[in-house]
Copies of this chain bind each other. A is one copy, B any other.
């Protein structure tokens, strides 16, 4: 196969097609079962790929001719990390990506999740539990917000969407590569592990007993906290609601029935982050 010099490394000058075996293999990673078996997943778009490279998780980059010209920095970063860059036909990127506009770049990445006890570490201060959240955009957005709020870990609990779902990776905007992420099927195992670490579990619910603002004003958010969020449609499982130290609602000042999940999580996580930052300004 003819090659040309590009940014210090060899880039195949013959664009891969949908029939190229490495593309066939990569396309399989659009399915969760194949991702689980291979221990790899796809990151789409320049931002996610940049973060994957920075985290040392990218194994291979596929770029269109157009993106090869536009995304010099990305290609150089791949070169520096000795990650192969392969030129692909435009329709290949579309076939690899789950989102509409992957901007010509997709990376095959090694999975990043760790066992949940490892993700929690010994003394976590702020943890997020995503419980039975099926919508990948919501899960990825909360992961991004958890990262911004300085969370120590995000645990995908129960029937929550695969963190490596293309839409979830995309919505996380790189945060999948920043925050320790774990998957654990049984919520009670997670709740017990948090209890042993002295972490207070708060269940977010539109029907929660305690008002977030009142709880924050009473100093209730300074202690190490794990926020559990359920799906917008079904809320949290009853066992998580019962096991939580408190069920907490975001106050509604107007006439909306509720907040959407990403908005509610942002308000809760920032209330905790800000309370903890105030209590430990040296942090």
Contacts and interface: CB of A to CB of B under 8 A. Distances in A.
A2 interface: no
A151 B255 CA distance: 10
A254 interface: yes
A255 B146 CA distance: 10
Given A151-B254, A179-B254, A267-B266, A144 B260 contact: yes
Contact of A255 (B178, B252, B255, B277): B178
Q: Which of A145, A250, A253 has the most CB of B within 10 A?
A: A253
14 contacts: A141-B260, A141-B262, A144-B259, A144-B260, A145-B259, A146-B254, A149-B253, A179-B254, A179-B255, A213-B274, A213-B278, A251-B273, A260-B262, A262-B262
7 closest A-B pairs by CB: A150-B253, A263-B266, A148-B256, A147-B256, A178-B255, A150-B254, A266-B266
Interface of A: 141, 144-151, 171, 173-175, 178-179, 213, 217, 250-260, 262-267, 270, 273-274, 277-278
